[in-house]
Amino acid sequence: MITVGILSFSDGRERVHNSLAPYIKECEDNLKAVLEGTEKVRVITASGIICNSRLAAEMAEEMVSHHPDAIILNIPVFAFPNFAAIAVTLLNVPVLAISPVNGAMPGLGGLQAAVNMIRQTGGKCGKVWGNIQEEKTLGKVMTFLKAAYAATSLKGQIYGLIGGRSIGMGSGAVNPDVWMNIFGVDVDHVDQLEIIRRTKDVDCEKVNRAFKWLGDHMGAILYDDDKLTVDSLKMQIRCYFATKDIIDERKLDFVGVKCHYELSEYYVTQCLSAALFNDPYDWDGPKEPLVYACEADSDAALTMQIMKLISDEPVLFFDFRHYDPKDQVFAFCNCGAMSTWYAKRGSAIENLRNVKLCPIISKYGGKGCHVQFMAREGEMTFARLSRVLDKYKLILFKGTLKEFPAEKMEETCFSWPHAFASVQMDPENLIDRYESNHIHAVYGDFVAELTEFCKIKGIDYEVII
């Protein structure tokens, strides 16, 4: 639920303010009613309308005490613009100013004057002119609020970097100072062998119950008496519990786990953990998905966390693997970090019926399973944070997942989870302009929300079309 505060502004002359106050309050009530009607927003209104500089400071401080995710400046008249500028200096969350369409009132001029003064002094403030009851206007406001919620929620979060740089991928490494400065996120580093150490303390009854749940609900478990055995699968289950214990103990909000090489080469791969942490369920029932990026790709984890906060859905992680010119689709796949929710986007039972646990490929010296399925068709938003010398940019594009016979996965790596994506742009243009081997996606169209997030955080973005 997004918590939004509304500050309403008026004329600084008491006589004029008294004549305008009923209309200003009516506009405030309309905003509150429509936003709460979405069932995605909780609205807090200030105890008074701001009609002088002292109230501007007092009402702003009052609103801050409620810890909102964003503030809406309700400016339906020509309110004195310095009131809004004063209030914004005291706010520490994203701000949007709105004025309704009403030719009988100079709200549009008030909107322009207030936002200009805020921006002139170096502040940030979004701007919407429109009636909140109209779908287009409400859409603009909700786009801002979703982005603001993500930006505010990130501040103070803890990212768990479990392991370090994986297989030489510098694009996945993290600079903790830059993350704290731009996103307000702290990085807590944990050795990944701590996962293995803690597996010894996992209760056998818990492991057996999880093992039975997987056996009862998976479409198939393809034991091979070598890589994937009862013992190696139970060890992967133990790793999931051990990682969960680390997350709980360290109070981590999202994580990246190295896996390659130490764990995948000498113990078990972490594919089961990667899938289940990103899922909205496990053997204990429904749960909040927790972003888990494999190969300790920290910018992947941060991208996924932003996308999850905006969409309120699990987020996919996979690799650019291949482009098939015959079917005109990209094959996106990775050894195991795809949420099984995307198999059917239904209940746990519906989804897992379409998932197989396959022996890990011989490339890895360790044991365990890959979590194989083909993602269900649908419109997707793809995104990735990239950086050059600590300057971040978010790259976005849209595509549509398509389903094929299972045999198509044999064209790449049959044991891995796959998503086949059709994109509108020239594939070579996408390959040239996209700046990572990893790609992240969520079901639906969230390009507007993600670009708004970038505006709030002051980072560049590029939409590839």
Q: What's the pLDDT at 278?
A: 97
pLDDT of residue 169: 82
- Per-position b or e across 89-126, b if 16+ CB within 10 A of its CB: eebebbbbbbbbeeeebbbbebbbbbbebbeeeeeebb
Residue 346: predicted pLDDT = 94
Both 195 and 139 in one domain: the answer is: no
pLDDT digits (tens, 9 = 90+) for 323-351: 999 999 999 998 867 999 999 999 999 99
What residue ranges of the chain have pLDDT lower than 50? none
Do 263 and 233 fall within a single domain?
A: yes
The residue out of 92, 124, 154 marking a domain boundary is 154
Same domain for 118 and 194, yes or no, is: no
Of 129, 154, 179, the residue that ends a domain is 154
- Predicted pLDDT at 335: 82
Please tell me whether residues 36 and 164 are part of one structural domain: no
Closest by alpha carbon to 302, among 176, 435, 434, 449?
176
User: Residue 137 is part of a domain; what is its CATH number?
Assistant: 3.40.50.1070
Query: Are residues 103 and 207 both part of a single domain?
Result: no
Same domain, 146 and 165: no
The string of DSSP letters for 65-95 reads TT--SEEEEE--S---HHHHHHHHHT--S-E
Reading the block at residue 230, the tokens are 């009862």
Q: Residue 217 sits in a domain of what CATH number?
A: 3.20.14.10
Q: What's the structural domain count of the chain? A: 2
Separation of alpha carbons 277 and 338, rounded Å: 10
Give pLDDT, residue 350: 96
Question: Across 403-448, where does the E strand assignment appear?
Answer: 418-423, 438-443
Residues 139 and 253 in one domain: no
Same domain (yes/no): 92, 120: yes
* pLDDT attached to residue 165: 86
- Specify whether 81 is located in the same domain as 132: yes
What pLDDT is stored for residue 336 in this prediction? 65
The pLDDT, as a whole number, for residue 268 is 97
Q: Of the residues 133, 154, 175, which one is the last residue of a structural domain?
A: 154
237 and 305 belong to one structural domain: yes
Question: Which of 260, 391, 277 lies closest to 339 in space, CA to CA?
Answer: 277
pTM of the model: 0.95
Domain of 136, in residue numbers = 2-154
* Separation between Cα atoms, residue 128 and residue 392, nearest integer Å: 27
Q: Are 256 and 293 in contact (CB under 8 A)?
A: yes
Q: Look at phi and psi of residue 165 and say left if phi exceeds 0, alpha if psi is from -120 to 50, else beta.
A: beta
Distance between CA atoms of residues 74 and 16, nearest Å: 17
Residues 209 and 346 in one domain: yes
